Amino acid sequence: MMRWKNPVTALAAIAALSLTVSGCTGGSKSSNSNGSSGKTLVVNNNFDLKTLDPARAFEFTDVMIEHQVYETALTYHGNETSKLYPEVATYSRSSDDRVVTLKLTGDHQFADGSKVTADDIVFSYNRLEGIGGNPSFLLNDPSGKPVVVKKSGPSTVTLTSSVANPALPSILPNPALSILEKKVLVAHGGTTTSSDKAQKYLDEHSLGSATYQITNSQIATSVSLGTNPHYTGTAPGYSKVVIQNVVPATQKVNLQSGTAQLALDVDPQSAAQMVNSKKFAETASPSLNTIYAWFNTDAKYGGPVANNNFVLAVRHAIDYSSLIKLAGPGSTQPGGVIPEGIIGALKSDSHNTYDPVQAKRYLKKSGYHGQPIKFTVDSQASAGNASYTTIAQKIQAQLSAVGINLNLVPQPSVTSLSTYRSGTFPAGLASWGADYPDPSDYIAFGPGQNLGKRVAWKTGTSSSADKVEPLLTTALTTSDPSKRVSAWESVQKQMNADGPFVPLLQPGALIIYAAGIKNVPSNPIWTTEFRDIK
């Protein structure tokens, strides 16, 4: 149900586009009828772009781009995800948390001048559900049933769940729930069923009401944005934005040469050197990704790692501060699987602390005698801007110091994920990124859930799973804000005590840009906000 986020390294870079741009003082200038500056911002990103159809897209690059061209009912400001703001609508919810009512607010217009209506919202949401693409689960309620979306008045829409669904408002800012212009979408094959044929059109055009619109799209190499002439908000600092697919090493070169002004994948060491030169600046903040180690609870496949004392030994053998240093600026250690920035996140937990003496005690209790432990590592992925391989090697050395023989098994991204999903491998390194900033997204770590299944962690066969399951049920069905926080903290504390997942690192999100550029915001869901950059 939930996606497993994996920042796969792109296989190729593109040559710099034939644009005349200035170095550290911003982009090229041109006339612009919309009243914005007429400058061009060139952005380098290591693409994981598959499609620009919001109902089908669910990767980092497409989410970033979609946010710039589409509005959603609700939104977040800056990198703060604990408070919701109206974008196209205000909202209210019923006392039982089953019904969310959206009411259109303000003046919002698509690029052709048509106003955003309740019909556009209903069609966009129903299309997401009907297509059944990767992000369609976002409009499933906690029981797994689709949320019922209906127009309830000229400017109101109701979203009705079959059970209490307190997380729903927090889901609505996700760009997968972008509001598209119904009449144009239908004209290009858009439907609310799996027979929808609009993807090809949406890969090359946008039908949104946000600051920008797509002016040119080459999915594999670059996407260009121009201003929406009917956007009713403040004009952006840059009237054109070009997002290029460039590998990290070349991003540094492009910044230094002035062919790009902003880069999203420069490694921390290079970034520090560039910032120290005073010619570049950075925005660093925690992402909403949790990097974790997993251990198979089935002794048939896990062997010694299926013993909880072994996992406790691992928890205390790791020097978490060293992993944070590797990942670079903005990184931190999460107290549990829920990262900092989401309600219910733990500040810290005594089970996940560096204590080699305690680690050796637990290891002795486990009965482990030095046999090799296979540990799969995605050889193409990174946490923040440190490779998984580097992180795994650091962990390997630290575990060796207490007597654990970790045998690293590097695999390409697709293979590593398949290995994890098979449920037949002892252990490995993985990541989970928030699909939406609410603790309910982390049910995936629960017994019998998406990630729990992969490590054979289920009720009836595991005493630790039996302890966590009722706590998880309480957390999912609690609506009171303060009680929700407490409930999710209890879930994580119990998982840290005897669960199969060891939260290691919450990597930072690092954006490097020319010093002449100002006001570069960071957001853990859509990376940044191009309209705010000056």
Enter the tokens of residue 184. Answer: 């144009």
Which pTM does this prediction carry? Answer: 0.81
CB 179 within 8 A of CB 124: yes
Asked whether the beta carbons of 344 and 476 are under 8 A apart, the reply is no
The structure tokens listed for 343 are 């309600």
CA dist 272 and 336 (Å) reads 29
pLDDT of residue 17: 37
The Cα–Cα gap between 480 and 486 comes to: 10
In whole angstroms, give the CA distance from residue 121 to residue 38. Answer: 32
User: Which segments within 229-351 are labelled E, that is strand?
Assistant: 240-245, 262-263, 280-286, 289-295
- Give the residue from 338, 348, 414, 407 showing the smallest Cα distance to 380: 414
Say what the pLDDT of residue 520 is.
96
**Per-residue model confidence as pLDDT tens for the chain (534 residues):** 333 333 333 333 333 333 333 334 455 554 344 544 579 999 999 988 889 999 999 888 999 999 999 999 999 998 888 889 999 999 999 999 999 999 999 999 999 999 999 999 999 999 999 999 989 999 999 888 999 999 999 999 999 999 999 999 999 999 999 999 999 999 999 999 999 999 999 999 999 999 999 999 999 999 999 999 999 999 999 999 999 999 888 999 999 999 999 999 888 788 889 999 999 999 988 888 999 999 999 999 999 999 999 999 999 999 999 999 988 888 999 999 999 989 999 999 999 999 999 999 999 999 999 999 999 999 988 776 678 999 999 999 999 999 999 999 999 988 998 999 999 999 999 999 888 899 999 999 999 998 999 999 999 988 999 999 999 989 988 888 889 999 999 999 999 999 999 999 999 888 999 999 999 999 989 999 999 999
Which residues, other chains included, contact 245 with Cβ-Cβ below 8 Å and sequence gap of 6+? 10, 12, 13, 14, 45, 46, 47, 49, 220, 221, 222
The pLDDT of residue 384: 65
